[in-house]
Amino acid sequence: MSTLPRDFESRDDLIAAYREAFADLVGRDDHVADFEGGRDHAQRRLDDVNPAKYGKTRNYLDGDVTRLGPFLRHGVLTLSETRDAVLEKLQEQNSRAEKLINELAWRDYWRRVLADIGEGVHDNREDWKTGLDDADYELDMPDDVLNADTGNDFVDGSVTELYETGYLHNQQRMKLAAYVVHWRRVHWHAGAQWMLGHLLDGDLASNHLSWQWVASTFGSKPYIFNQENLQKWMGDRFTGDSDDGPSPFRGSYDELNERLFA
């Protein structure tokens, strides 16, 4: 019999019970996020969504993102009811902002792809477009990335945030994935598996297929970024500079393509 307790007096009691019950499985990382689960919390988040503002600001690190991902991933909110709520708000706001509906559709798309390919999600969907192939990429995540000890403020800050909160803004996810795959030449699958375990909204379909998109095995070219682009979206939070030398992200896209893929 392995029934777990429920109906706790407080969140602290729940956390203490689960920390003890799963100590053998989760190892050293025993962070718990401030972000709370449950239908009421999901509903409050949904009530707070502002589709017009989301459309304008979502790409900025401090933009008005919805944080609905963990609830959508676990079916606390269905995609359909979320869409219906967004449509009502668009009507109230007399807004034609389409971006949030489009982002919900991405989730529907990834799930349809997963339903088609099943375990094939772990394999390259297409060839690499980097001029390299599987053998050129490391199969394990580098320790300095895992330990948030690369010396680069963006990389280390994002990894720490992932561990502590189970959340990364979409720009951080894409850029961290690009750093791991293209700057460090690590196979996308190692990075995808690592990130999946930590994200509160870790979803096999969107996570693994997005890593493949960054890598170029599910898209027409690799996704890279430069320091200027990083600073544009990250505001004051990160510079992209490294402790011990010039930023690895410095340069034009032509220069970076030359440096990373030649």
Of residues 82-141, which lie at the interface with another protein (CB under 8 A)?
83-84, 87, 98, 101-102, 104-106, 108-109, 111-116, 118-119, 121
What is the total count of residues that contact another protein (CB under 8 A)?
A: 73
Which of the residues 160 through 189 are near another protein (CB under 8 A)? 163, 165-166
Interface with another protein, residue 31, by CB under 8 A = yes
Which candidate, 173, 171, 201, 166, places its Cα nearest to that of 188? 173
d(CA 80, CA 72) in angstroms, rounded, equals: 10
Which candidate, 217, 179, 210, 175, places its Cα nearest to that of 192? 210
Q: Which stretch binds another protein (CB under 8 A): 11-19, 129-137, 146-154, 236-244?
A: 11-19
Q: Give buried/exposed letters for 6-18 (b at 16+ CB in 10 A, else e).
A: eeeeeeeebeeeb
Q: How far is the CB of 80 from another protein (least distance, A)?
A: 4
Interface with another protein, residue 253, by CB under 8 A = no
Interface with another protein, residue 198, by CB under 8 A = yes
Site string for another protein, 50-89 (x = CB under 8 A): --------------------x--xxxxxxxxx-xx--x--
Label residue 255 exposed, middle or buried (CB < 10 Å: 0-12, 13-18, 19+).
exposed
Contacts of 247 (CB under 8 A, 6+ apart): 152, 227, 239, 240, 241
Interface with another protein, residue 232, by CB under 8 A = no
Q: Which stretch binds another protein (CB under 8 A): 3-11, 46-54, 234-242, 243-251?
A: 3-11
d(CA 135, CA 133) in angstroms, rounded, equals: 6
Contact yes or no for 230/197 (Cβ under 8 A): no
Among 141, 185, 200, 261, binds another protein (CB under 8 A): 200
Nearer to another protein, 1 or 262 (CB): 1
Q: How far is the CB of 34 from another protein (least distance, A)?
A: 10
